[in-house]
């Protein structure tokens, strides 16, 4: 959730007038790298847990590799600059750490209890640890580039390419319902306005459009619209004081600022506090909206009552129509997000081309935040279960992408059949994986492990298959099963 929020805040950086504008490209690339780092971190944790179960605990070589990784991360964190100083990493120190890390990580492949499943887990863990080190080093380098732009006022060089089209989660069905509610509310207000020839009817239609659109991102916008309606009504006496008493006496800008300052400064300060936002903002909106709709030189009680009534009617109409066409529960929205994730997994499994991993990771990180916020904060167990489930789907997606990328290098292994089985599984929504899928994954793993070539594609294929097996069948035996026999 924080990553998505930072991404939205970063959209304003190109328009900043300070040196921050020079960091725009580096920050965008950094956001993509951090999003892609999440499935890697989750996969490392998943492999460590699986290895613990398969070998009855962590062996000394695993603990040694963990210790070196932690020391390397701490050493890099201590080198991050906080001022306009020499912001390059010490080369010798960095090379020493990389050599030590590489030796301790690669040593994991030769350990274990010698079973095919333990060997596959170790190869997968080594692959993810090397990926973690590479991605974290890229993040450290990008952080240095940001400091270069921030303190030196120069454009950092592009070390990596940013994602061209960042597609976050989209719910077209909810967007349609939101637009339908806005259309109907506006139409009803316009119909009422035209039929009775009401001079201020346009204000009602405008307010209906504003409130149907302003809260369209919520699962149930009605409580928020009702809150605005309540405090807009409460703001009526304040608006009347300004329109009918204070502003007609104003003769210049200085007096205008002096009259408006007490109310607007106080409400503005409280609007910045989340706990008071839904009280201060409606009051501020009600007063400011009323002021903007009046010509104070010709304002009178009749025009004020007409305008205020139109504001309240438009807000009320937005709330009622939204209640009929648009209000849904948080659980309902969470289920729709879950279905969208499954649709993505179906597309990735059935497609002939692999999707870019970073685009999938960015979209999934956004969905993790959206699902998490829709689970009641008090239900800790349910919140944690939802987080684990979504992270599992994220790992499954990365495994499928990896399998799509390497399957052409192994024409003798039935990856196409395996991917078709996965597509069928994800289409079935809540159905449990079949044992035939476990046997197919184990057979593919056995075939891959028996190959003599230890190429990068070989490691990627093993990593993807291990991920599919452990995430889909967490309670499967700690030995591979192929052709109906335990290996």
DSSP string, 302-331: HHHHHHHHHHHHHHHHHHHHHHHHT---HH
pLDDT at 159: 56
Residue 398 in domain: no
Residue 242 in domain: yes
Same domain for 93 and 192: no
* pLDDT (mean) for 405-431: 82
Among 24-33, 265-274, 285-294, 358-367, name the most confident range. 265-274
Residue 259 in domain: yes
Percent of the chain with pLDDT over 90: 9
Same domain for 210 and 143: no
Same domain for 181 and 128: no
Same domain for 179 and 142: no
* pLDDT (mean) for 218-228: 88
pLDDT band at 318 (very low <50, low <70, confident <90, very high): very high
pLDDT band at 89 (very low <50, low <70, confident <90, very high): very low
Last residue of a domain, one of 90, 118, 152: 152
Same domain for 180 and 63: no
Residue 378 has pLDDT above 50, yes or no: no
* pLDDT (mean) for 407-425: 84
* pLDDT (mean) for 445-450: 86
Residue 92 has pLDDT above 50, yes or no: no
Residue 83 has pLDDT above 80, yes or no: no
Burial of residue 158, with CB atoms counted within 10 A of its CB: 0-12 exposed, 13-18 middle, 19 or more buried: exposed
pLDDT at 4: 65
Give backbone dihedrals phi and psi of 40, rounded to 5 degrees, phi first: -65, -45
Same domain for 177 and 129: no
pLDDT at 208: 93
* pLDDT (mean) for 251-277: 87
Same domain for 207 and 304: yes
Last residue of a domain, one of 274, 295, 325: 325
Residue 453 in domain: no
Residue 297 has pLDDT above 80, yes or no: no
Same domain for 179 and 147: no
Cβ contacts of residue 359 below 8 Å, gap of 6+?
A: 163, 165, 166, 167
pLDDT digits (tens, 9 = 90+) for 43-59: 888 888 888 888 888 88
Residue 320 in domain: yes
pLDDT at 186: 95
pLDDT at 277: 85
* pLDDT (mean) for 419-437: 79
Residue 214 in domain: yes
Residue 435 in domain: no
Residue 105 has pLDDT above 70, yes or no: yes
> Is-above-0.85 flag for pTM?
no
Same domain for 54 and 132: yes
pLDDT band at 484 (very low <50, low <70, confident <90, very high): very low
CA atoms within 13 A on the CB side of 113: 14
Q: Rounded distance, CA 230 to CA 224, Å?
A: 10
Same domain for 211 and 68: no
Residue 267 in domain: yes
pLDDT at 117: 86
Mean pLDDT of the chain: 79
Residue 112 domain boundaries: 2-152
pLDDT at 420: 86
Same domain for 187 and 131: no
Last residue of a domain, one of 284, 304, 325: 325
Spatial contact of 469 and 396, defined as CB atoms under 8 Å apart: no
Among 112-126, 149-163, 211-225, 443-457, name the most confident range. 211-225
Same domain for 264 and 320: yes
pLDDT at 435: 81
User: For the chain, how many structural domains are there in total?
Assistant: 2
Percent of the chain with pLDDT over 70: 79
pLDDT at 90: 40
């Amino acid at each position: 959730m924080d990553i998505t929020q930072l991404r939205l805040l970063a959209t304003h950086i190109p328009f900043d007038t300070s040196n921050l504008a020079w960091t725009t490209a580096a920050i965008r690339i950094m956001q993509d790298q951090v999003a892609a780092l999440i499935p890697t971190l989750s996969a490392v944790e998943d492999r460590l847990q699986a290895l613990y179960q398969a070998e009855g605990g962590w062996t000394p070589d695993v603990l040694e590799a963990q210790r070196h990784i932690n020391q390397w991360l701490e050493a890099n964190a201590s080198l991050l600059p906080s001022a306009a100083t020499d912001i390059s990493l010490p080369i010798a120190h960095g090379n020493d750490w990389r050599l030590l890390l590489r030796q301790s990580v690669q040593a994991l492949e030769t350990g274990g209890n010698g079973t095919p499943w333990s060997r596959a887990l170790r190869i997968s863990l080594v692959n993810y640890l090397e990926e973690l080190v590479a991605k974290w080093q890229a993040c450290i380098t990008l952080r240095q580039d940001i400091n270069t732009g921030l303190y030196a006022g120069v454009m950092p060089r592009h070390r990596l390419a940013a994602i061209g089209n960042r597609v976050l989660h989209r719910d077209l069905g909810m967007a349609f319902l939101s637009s339908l509610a806005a259309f109907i509310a506006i139409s009803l207000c316009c119909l009422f306005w035209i039929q009775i020839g009401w001079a201020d009817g346009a204000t009602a239609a405008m307010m209906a459009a504003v409130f149907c659109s302003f809260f369209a991102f919520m699962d149930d916008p009605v409580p928020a619209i009702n809150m605005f309606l309540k405090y807009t009504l409460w703001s009526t006496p304040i608006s009347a004081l300004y329109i009918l008493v204070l502003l007609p006496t104003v003769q210049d800008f200085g007096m205008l600022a002096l009259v408006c300052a007490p109310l607007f400064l106080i409400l503005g300060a409280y609007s910045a506090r989340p706990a008071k936002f839904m009280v201060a903002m409606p009051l501020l909106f009600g007063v400011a909206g009323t002021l903007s709709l009046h010509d104070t030189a010709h304002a009178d009680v009749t025009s004020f009552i007409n305008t205020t009534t139109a504001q309240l009617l438009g807000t009320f109409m937005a709330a009622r129509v939204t209640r009929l066409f648009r209000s849904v529960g948080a659980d309902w929205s969470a289920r729709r997000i879950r279905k969208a994730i499954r649709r993505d997994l179906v597309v990735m499994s059935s497609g002939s081309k692999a999707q870019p991993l970073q685009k999938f990771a960015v979209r999934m990180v956004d969905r993790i935040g959206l699902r998490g916020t829709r689970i009641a904060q008090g239900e800790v167990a349910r919140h944690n279960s939802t987080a684990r489930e979504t992270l599992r789907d994220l790992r499954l997606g990365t495994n499928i992408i990896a399998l799509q990328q390497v399957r052409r290098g192994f024409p003798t292994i039935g990856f196409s059949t395996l991917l078709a089985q996965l597509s069928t599984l994800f289409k079935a929504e809540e159905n449990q994986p079949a044992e035939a899928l476990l046997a197919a994954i184990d057979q593919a793993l056995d075939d891959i492990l028996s190959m003599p070539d230890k190429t990068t594609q070989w490691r990627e294929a093993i990593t993807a298959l291990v991920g599919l097996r452990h995430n889909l069948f967490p309670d499967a035996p700690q030995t591979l099963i192929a052709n109906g026999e335990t290996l």
